[in-house]
Copies of this chain bind each other. A is one copy, B any other.
Amino acid sequence: MSEPQWLSGDQLAAWRGFMRLLQRLPAALESQLQQDSKLSFIEYYVLAHLSDQPEHRMRISELAVLANTELSRLSHMINRLEKRGFVRREPDPHNGRYTQAILTEAGFAYLADAAPRHVRHVLDLFIDVVTPDELRTLHRISDKVLARIEHAG
C-alpha cells in the first residue's frame, strides 16, 4: 500500500517532489545560517522582524504570529537570545500585561552581518533558479493553500 490510490500518478510524483523540497530547502537555509551565524532559521526571522519595527521592538505575542511559532517556544527562544545579548524584554509601557521584545544594538549589528550571506543563499538556491513566471505561480499557490489551511484550522 504505502500511498493509497487516491492520488494519481502525476499527483503523487508532484507531491513527493514537493515534500522533498519542503524538507530540504529550509534545511539547506538553516544549515547556512547555523554555520555562518549560529542562528536557526526562526531566530533569524525573529531578529529580522524586530529590525523591521519602528523602534526595533514588538509585542511578543505579535512576534509569535509573524514568526509562525508558539508562544512558549518563542519565550524560551528569547531567553537564549537575551543571554547572547541580541534582545531584551520590557513590559509594554501602555499595558503591563504585554511584554515587548527589543532588538539591542548588538543584535542589530549581528543581524546586519548575517543578512547578506543569508539573502545570497536564498537567491542562489531559490530565486535565481525559478523563472519570474514560476515565481508568480508559486506565490499564487502559496496564498491559496495558506488560505485553505487557515480556513480549515
Contacts and interface: CB of A to CB of B under 8 A. Distances in A.
What is the copy number of this chain in the assembly?
Answer: 2
Interface size class of A (residues with CB under 8 A): 35 or more
Given A1-B112, A15-B127, A119-B3, A145 B23 contact: no
A11 interface: yes
B48 A2 contact: yes
A127 B15 CA distance: 8
A123 interface: yes
A85 interface: no
A140 interface: yes
A129 B145 contact: yes
5 contacts: A1-B112, A2-B52, A3-B119, A6-B116, A14-B138
